[in-house]
Chain A
Amino acid sequence: MTDFLLAMAGLILFTVAVGLARLLGGPGDADRMMAAQLIGTGGIASLLLIAAATGARGVEDVALGLALLAAFASVAFVNSAAPAEAPDSDAADGR
C-alpha cells in the first residue's frame, strides 16, 4: 500500500510536470496562472500521499497552509491585471 501511495504521488507530480509545458508555452499570463493553480493542487495531493506513506508528523498542517494560500498567486495576478482606472466592465452585464 505504501508503494501504491508513493507511486500515485509520483504520477501526480509527473502529471503536474507535464502541465508545466503550459507554463512554459503560455500563450497568455492567465494560462500560466492556471498552470500554477494545477501545480498547487497537485502539490497538495502528492504532499498528503507522501505524508500518508512515510508517516511524517504534522504534514496535514503544511497541506492546510498550502491550501489556505492556494488562491494567493491568482488573486495577486487578477488584482494587478485589472488596472485601477478600468471600471469592472462585465460586473454590470451578465449578472
Chain B
Amino acid sequence: MSLVIDLFGVAAIGAGVFFFVAGAAGLLRFPDALSRLHALTKADNLGLGLIVLGLLPRSTSPLAALKLIAIWALVLLAGATTAQLVGRAVRRKGSAA
C-alpha cells in the first residue's frame, strides 16, 4: 500500500514540478507580458495542484488534508484574480508596463 502511495506521490509531484519548470521557462522566454502571465498561471494552478494531490495520501489527519486542499484553492483564487488584475494593468499601460 505504501508503495502505491509512494509511486502515486512520485508521479503527481514530478508532474507538478514539471509545470513549475514550464512556468518559469515561460516567464523567462515568452515575448510579452500577457503571454508570460499565461505561463505563470499554469505553474500556480497545475503545478501546486499536482503537488498537493501527491501529498494528500501522506497527510496525517483529515484536517491536514482539508488544509492542503484549502491551500490549493486559495492559491488558485489568488492566481486567477491577480492574473486578471495584472493583465488589466498591463493593458491599461500598454505593452511597456
- Enumerate chain A interface residues (CB-CB to B < 8 A): 1, 4-5, 8, 11-12, 15-16, 18-19, 21-22, 27-31, 33-35, 37-38, 41-42, 44-45, 48-49, 52, 60-61, 63-64, 67-68, 70-71, 74-75, 77-78, 81-82, 86, 89-90
Contacts and interface: CB of A to CB of B under 8 A. Distances in A.
Interface of B: 6, 9-10, 13-14, 16-17, 20-21, 23-24, 27-28, 33, 36-37, 40, 43-44, 47-48, 51-52, 55, 58, 64, 67-68, 70-72, 74-75, 77-79, 81-82, 85-86, 88-93, 96-97
Given A19-B27, A74-B82, A63 B6 contact: no
A4 B82 CA distance: 32
A4 B10 CA distance: 8
B53 to A, nearest CB: 11
A34 B74 contact: no
